[in-house]
Every structure is written in structure tokens, then in C-alpha cells.
């Protein structure tokens, strides 16, 4: 009886596998391989039936096999992995084939070795150089300094805490107005940037650095994020600084069809200047688990916890004169008169649905 049941399970798997392999051959021109390869097709589960990249990587990691690339295809009930070595691919195959119930309603994954990955439509955002002008300074503050900063921003805020759709914010120096994506330079808040932050400016060692006069504190619960946006050009100068406290997170930078993932470790400072400040959007996807690259280049998952970020900026007080017109609210203004007026009017950013 037991053997009979097992045979049925194997038969069902083989049937599903054959059907799915015919589909990926037709869809992506990818062929099955009878002997192990680095490439695995994950059949019967995919984006179309609720499988996430994180859930797939978590299941693969549980087999002990290392994965170096994931390819999820929109609206498909299959996806692909590339493993780091053949031994890794075999571990993932043996550990997941006809075992891993990672799809919706416990749908089981069937695996098959394939000769190659399909022609990639989505870029792999991990193997890319950082956008120009983006600098990440790990361990910029110590744990003791992190605790002192959290204490300093928790007390005596002049602006009330705002509860945005997806996160909590507080402002110092000037309030950031989410309706217009701008600040009113004529209305400083009673409370400026806490003096406890000042030790950071010397540590930066940036020539001709003007200390910031505006601070936005974002508090993200695990699973919360911020939509892709560019900080309004006419509102703030270059650079923009973002200090990550309490949790690591992955920030995505995008320009046209380019995508670069940047892991922001807890206690690191991100300096956005030049191209990265003006010509790329930045955002954080609302997820509980991040996919991150390991030093050896393979991919793994990492759970987020509550993160507090401190974004330090300096008001521009005039139109923007950057070299990057695409996302520049000043340069996208229609007439010279409007261009002149843009530094007094609250202008909205060109990236819609910002916050």
C-alpha cells in the first residue's frame, strides 16, 4: 500500500514534470538535461501561483546548496535557479524535487536540470557597479553612537510624528511636505537637527562640506518600504546622506531599465551625490525578507527588523542647476518664468505616487 502510494506520487511528478518541460521549451526555448547542470528549472510553482523569490531562496538554502542567480518570470508558474557548483545543484535538486511545498495551497515543486537559463529579461541588480557618485561607508557610527542618536531623535521633536501610509516620519530643521514633495524655507521648525548628530560631519572628510540643516527620520517596521523617488532637486543640495540604524535593508537604485541593489548595513552611512543623487531614483521594496548577495557572489535571504533611517539634507534655496534634466523639477518646468519661480513655489517631483 505504502509502495503503491509512493509510486503514484512519483508518477504524478513525472507527468507534471513532462508537461511543464514542454511549456518551458515552448515559452523560453530551454531544454531539459539528463545529467546534472548548474541550471535548475523549478516547475509547477512561480510568480503566477504565489511563489516569491525569498520563499524560493529560503527553501533552496535549507538543502545546503548555494544559489548564485534566481530568475522569476512574470505571470509564470515556473522559475529558474543557477547554482554555484554542480554539487550545489545536486543538493538543491535532491532536497527540493517533489518535496518542497512552496507554492500556493502547498503546491509542490518539481525540479529539472536544464541546459541553460532563458534569455534574461530582468537585470540581475547585484552584479552591477554602484551608480556614479554613490558611496557607502560601513560602520560609520559605533553601537554606542547608534544608541545615543536614537535617543536624541526620540525626544523633543518640534514637528509631530507623521504616520504615512507605510511608515512613520519625523522632521527636524524644516518639515518635509509630502503633498508637494518640498520644504518651506521660510518656515523653519523650532527644533533644528539635534547637536548629538554633529560629530558625524568631521568624520565625513568631504571637502567644502556644508553641514545639513534638515533631517527626516523614517521609521520602518519590518515589511515596510519607501516607493522609488528622487529627492526633489530644487528642495535640496548635493549630497544627501542616509544613516541606517537598527536593521540592514536593501535599497534599489533605478535609471531607465537599469537596476542596482545596494545592501545598506545597520550603522552605515550612504552618501548620494552627483548622478546617484540627481539621475537615479532610490526606493525600498516593502518586504519582510531581503534577497542579498554573499561575498562569494551567491544569493541568500536575510530577515528585516525595525529600521530607523536618518536622512540629512541641506536646503537649496534657489532653482536647481544640475547636469541631469530628466528628473529635475527645475529644468522640467515649461517656461523661463516658471523656472525662476520654482524656487519659491512648492514644486512636485516628476516621479508619480511618491510617498
Ligand X SMILES: O=C(O)CCC(=O)C(=O)O
Among 53, 88, 146, 231, binds ligand X (CB under 6 A): 231
Among 218, 224, 281, 301, binds ligand X (CB under 6 A): 218
Q: Which is nearer to ligand X, 97 or 313 (CB)?
A: 313
- 238 touches Fe ion by CB under 5 A: no
**By C-alpha distance, which of 134, 138, 81, 140 is closest to 261?**
134
Interaction of residue 42 with ligand X, rule CB under 6 A: no
C-beta pairs of 179-182 under 8 Å, 24+ apart in sequence: 179/346, 180/346, 180/347, 180/348, 181/229, 181/232, 181/235, 181/346, 181/347, 181/348, 181/349, 181/354, 181/355, 182/232, 182/234, 182/235, 182/346, 182/347, 182/348
Minimum gap (Å) between residue 310 Cβ and ligand X: 8
Closest approach of ligand X to the CB of residue 345, in Å: 20
CB-nearer residue toward Fe ion: 117 or 230: 230
Helix, strand or coil, per DSSP, at residue 58:
helix
Residue 242: contacted member of Fe ion, ligand X, none (CB under 5 to 8 Å, by partner type): ligand X
Question: How far is residue 321's CA from residue 347's CA, in Å, rounded to a whole number?
Answer: 15
The size of the interface with ligand X (CB under 6 A), counted in residues, is 8
- The burial of 295, by beta-carbon neighbours within 10 Å (0-12 exposed, 13-18 middle, 19 or more buried), is given as exposed
Distance of closest approach, residue 270 Cβ to ligand X, in angstroms? 7
Q: Strands (DSSP E) along the chain, which ranges? A: 39-43, 67-72, 78-83, 110-114, 134-137, 162-163, 168-172, 174-177, 182-188, 214-220, 226-229, 240-245, 249-255, 258-264, 269-272, 281-284, 289-293, 299-303, 307-313
Site residues for ligand X, window 279-318 (CB under 6 A)?
Answer: 282, 309, 311
242 binds ligand X (CB under 6 A): yes
CB of residue 212 to ligand X, shortest distance in Å: 13
Is 17 among the residues that bind ligand X (CB under 6 A)?
Answer: no
For the CB of residue 5, give the shortest distance to Fe ion in the complex, in Å.
Answer: 56
218 binds, among ligand X, Fe ion, none (CB under 5 to 8 A by kind): ligand X
d(CA 274, CA 272): 7
Positions in 26-85 near Fe ion (CB under 5 A): none
Closest CA to 57 of 34, 76, 40: 40
**Shortest spacing between CB 307 and ligand X, in angstroms:** 7
Within positions 158 to 217, which residues make up the interface with ligand X, using CB under 6 A? Answer: 216
According to CB under 5 A, which one of 146, 175, 231, 248 is a site residue for Fe ion? 231
- Residue (28 or 354) nearer to Fe ion, CB: 354
Task: Determine if 175 is a binding residue for Fe ion (CB under 5 A).
Answer: no
**CB 293, CB 124: distance < 8 Å:** no
Give the footprint of Fe ion on this chain (CB under 5 A).
Answer: 231
Give the footprint of ligand X on this chain (CB under 6 A).
Answer: 216, 218, 226, 231, 242, 282, 309, 311
Amino acid at each position: 500500500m505504502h509502495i503503491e502510494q509512493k509510486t503514484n506520487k512519483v508518477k504524478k511528478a513525472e507527468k507534471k514534470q513532462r508537461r511543464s518541460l514542454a511549456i518551458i521549451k515552448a515559452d523560453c526555448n530551454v531544454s531539459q538535461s539528463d545529467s546534472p547542470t548548474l541550471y535548475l528549472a523549478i516547475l509547477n510553482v512561480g510568480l503566477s501561483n504565489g511563489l516569491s523569490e525569498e520563499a524560493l531562496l529560503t527553501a533552496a538554502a535549507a538543502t545546503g546548496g548555494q544559489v548564485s542567480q534566481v530568475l522569476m518570470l512574470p505571470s509564470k508558474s515556473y522559475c529558474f535557479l543557477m547554482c554555484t557548483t554542480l554539487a550545489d545543484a545536486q543538493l538543491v535538486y535532491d532536497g527540493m524535487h517533489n518535496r518542497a511545498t512552496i507554492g500556493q495551497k502547498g503546491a509542490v515543486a518539481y525540479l529539472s536540470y536544464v541546459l541553460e537559463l532563458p534569455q534574461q529579461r530582468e537585470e540581475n541588480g547585484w552584479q552591477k557597479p554602484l551608480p556614479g557618485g554613490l558611496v557607502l561607508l560601513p560602520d560609520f557610527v559605533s553601537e554606542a553612537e547608534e544608541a545615543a542618536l536614537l535617543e536624541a531623535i526620540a525626544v523633543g521633536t518640534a514637528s509631530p510624528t507623521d504616520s504615512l501610509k507605510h511608515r512613520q516620519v519625523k522632521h527636524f530643521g524644516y518639515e518635509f511636505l509630502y503633498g508637494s514633495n518640498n520644504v518651506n524655507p521660510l518656515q523653519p521648525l523650532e527644533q533644528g537637527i539635534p547637536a548629538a548628530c554633529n560629530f558625524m560631519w568631521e568624520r565625513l572628510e568631504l571637502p567644502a562640506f556644508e553641514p545639513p540643516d534638515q533631517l527626516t527620520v523614517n521609521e520602518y517596521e519590518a515589511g515596510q518600504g519607501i516607493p522609488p523617488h528622487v529627492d526633489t532637486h530644487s528642495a535640496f543640495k548635493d549630497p544627501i546622506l542616509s544613516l541606517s540604524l537598527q536593521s540592514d535593508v536593501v535599497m534599489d537604485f533605478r535609471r531607465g531599465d537599469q537596476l542596482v541593489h545596494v545592501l545598506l548595513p545597520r550603522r552605515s552611512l550612504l552618501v548620494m551625490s552627483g548622478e546617484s543623487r540627481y539621475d537615479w531614483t532610490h526606493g525600498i521594496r516593502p518586504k519582510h525578507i531581503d534577497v542579498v548577495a554573499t561575498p562569494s557572489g551567491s544569493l541568500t535571504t536575510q530577515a528585516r527588523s525595525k529600521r530607523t533611517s536618518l536622512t540629512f539634507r541641506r536646503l537649496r534655496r534657489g532653482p536647481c542647476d544640475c547636469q541631469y534634466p530628466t528628473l529635475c523639477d527645475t529644468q522640467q518646468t515649461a517656461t523661463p518664468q516658471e523656472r525662476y519661480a520654482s524656487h519659491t513655489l512648492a514644486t512636485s517631483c516628476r516621479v508619480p505616487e511618491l510617498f
